[in-house]
Amino acid sequence: MSEIKITVQNKRRPALFCPLSAQLGTSAKQAASLTLVDQWHGAPVPFQAEEAEGGCRIHWLCNSLAAGQQTQYVLKQSKGAEKAPGVELKEEGEARIAVKVGGNLLTAYRYGSGEARPSLYPLIGPFGQGVTRAFPFEEVEGDDMDHKHHRSVYCAWGDVNGADVWSEQEGHGCVRHREFESWGSGPAFGWIGSRNDWVDAGGKKLMEDRVTLRFYNLPAGMRMIDFEVTLMASEGDVRFGDTKEGGICSVRVATSMIERQGGRIENACGAVGEGEAWGKRAPWCDYSGPVAGHTVGVAVFDHPRNFRYPTYWHVRDYGLMTANPFGLSHFRAPDKADGAHTLPAGERLEFRYRVYVHAGDAREGDVAAKYLNWVYPPEVTVEV
């Protein structure tokens, strides 16, 4: 196979550890046998290939590219290239898949029958400590123990055809793991693809979802997880009721980080604190605060293709941050808006988010630039 040249043009802003991809006309198996070389440094770059229509897509991370700068990679035959440590997924215990980056735990996907819904816990930050609350998975001294249903990082909704699939109060519904479509490890990222059934308190199936998680091979100072959710009206029409009690992508931060104890809430529009950010629309929202002597933050990015972008944020001073596209009557009161949405039978609603864990607050973590790198990545062109 001849060499394949890949040019990356970065026009507007610096790109630091930015995930990139390129469409190739070859199979994933053929591409995986090659080596991707950074022409500037002459060094191999970890990448991986996945099958795609018309060939495959390869994925890698661009470590650093200044605004207005161009760089080139070559995909070619090479022997003896060293492989950098990647992302490893491994079953550990009952219904738990541990995710390690460079040998260090990032998170674990928990999907057991005893759980109200699948979730990610713990979520380890840049200094080796958890950035989401331990309760209800563990009881830790000093942890707030309110809202048991706030399970670290998760997806849930409080009114699905009238059923509560958000709280864990008497009569609540659940999201039940059905099967994995795939999951695995890789040099650029690890991934999980799962299918779940949403059921009411009596076990009646309400709908299905497909969740795809991608965990990137990044330095310890930052972590990124792509969180994609497809809601499917498999059993008939599905009505998502207008309630503030829900989040398609939800995070409960560590107790030490909460605003009530000196933490900071900030969104893309410059709003600071619950009083300014709660119920407001913004492309991203960030929650930062101290953990074990360091300031750390968690941001959630909302993709422009998502329903009702930019989303509304149910973000509270006690540590909850959720992307909530349906609770308009609460967020836009008193204009009496109704945010309920009915998904017709057989149709689907797709959401894409990125969870970004960083050192410092939103400014120090360069959250705004990281969001724009996601939405408007450097341009990639392929020459065979």
Q: Is residue 38 part of a domain?
A: yes
Report the pLDDT value the prediction gives residue 79, as an integer from 0 to 100: 67
Based on the fold, state whether residues 72 and 94 are members of the same structural domain.
Answer: no
Based on the fold, state whether residues 46 and 101 are members of the same structural domain.
Answer: no
Report the pLDDT value the prediction gives residue 82, as an integer from 0 to 100: 53
Asked whether 42 and 25 are in contact (CB, 8 A), the reply is no
End position of a domain, from candidates 77, 110, 140? 77
Based on the fold, state whether residues 49 and 98 are members of the same structural domain.
Answer: no
Q: Report phi then psi at 50, rounded to 5.
A: -135, 145
Based on the fold, state whether residues 69 and 107 are members of the same structural domain.
Answer: no
Report the pLDDT value the prediction gives residue 81, as an integer from 0 to 100: 52
Based on the fold, state whether residues 72 and 93 are members of the same structural domain.
Answer: no
Based on the fold, state whether residues 70 and 91 are members of the same structural domain.
Answer: no
Q: Report phi then psi at 305, rounded to 5.
A: -85, -5
Report the pLDDT value the prediction gives residue 1, as an integer from 0 to 100: 57
User: Which amino acid does the sequence have at 350?
Assistant: E
Based on the fold, state whether residues 64 and 145 are members of the same structural domain.
Answer: no
Based on the fold, state whether residues 273 and 151 are members of the same structural domain.
Answer: yes
User: Which amino acid does the sequence have at 93?
Assistant: G
Bridge partners (DSSP) of residue 246 are: 157
Q: Is residue 342 part of a domain?
A: yes
Based on the fold, state whether residues 63 and 120 are members of the same structural domain.
Answer: no
CA end-to-end span of the chain: 10
Domain that holds residue 38: 4-77
Asked whether 382 and 22 are in contact (CB, 8 A), the reply is yes
Asked whether 103 and 89 are in contact (CB, 8 A), the reply is no
Q: Is residue 287 part of a domain?
A: yes
Can you give 143-175 as a three-state secondary structure string? CCCCCCCCCCEEEEEEEECCEEECCCCCCCCEE
Q: What is the CATH number of the domain that holds 27?
A: 2.60.40
- The Cα-based distances of 81 to 24, 44, 46, 247, 384 in angstroms read 21, 7, 10, 44, 22
End position of a domain, from candidates 77, 101, 120? 77
Report the pLDDT value the prediction gives residue 336, as an integer from 0 to 100: 84
Based on the fold, state whether residues 295 and 148 are members of the same structural domain.
Answer: yes
Q: Is residue 204 part of a domain?
A: yes
Exposure on the CB side of residue 124, measured as CA atoms within 13 A: 19
Tell me whether strands 55-65 and 47-52 are parallel, antiparallel or unpaired: antiparallel
Report the pLDDT value the prediction gives residue 78, as an integer from 0 to 100: 77
Report the pLDDT value the prediction gives residue 307, as an integer from 0 to 100: 98
Based on the fold, state whether residues 250 and 156 are members of the same structural domain.
Answer: yes
Q: How far apart are alpha carbons 155 and 119 in whole angstroms?
A: 8
Report the pLDDT value the prediction gives residue 84, as an integer from 0 to 100: 56
Report the pLDDT value the prediction gives residue 83, as an integer from 0 to 100: 56
Q: How far apart are alpha carbons 74 and 384 in whole angstroms?
A: 10
Structure tokens at 333: 């009161």
| pLDDT, tens digit only, all 384 positions of the chain | 578 999 999 988 999 999 999 999 999 999 999 999 998 878 899 999 999 999 999 999 999 999 999 999 999 987 655 555 699 999 998 899 999 999 999 999 999 988 999 999 999 999 999 999 999 999 998 889 899 999 999 999 999 999 999 999 999 999 999 999 999 999 999 999 999 999 999 999 999 999 999 999 999 899 999 999 999 999 999 999 999 999 999 999 999 999 999 999 999 999 999 999 999 999 999 999 999 999 999 999 999 999 999 999 999 999 999 999 999 999 998 888 999 999 999 999 999 999 999 999 999 999 999 999 999 999 999 998
Q: Is residue 384 part of a domain?
A: no
- The count of domains in the chain is 2
Based on the fold, state whether residues 194 and 323 are members of the same structural domain.
Answer: yes
Q: What is the CATH number of the domain that holds 339?
A: 2.70.98
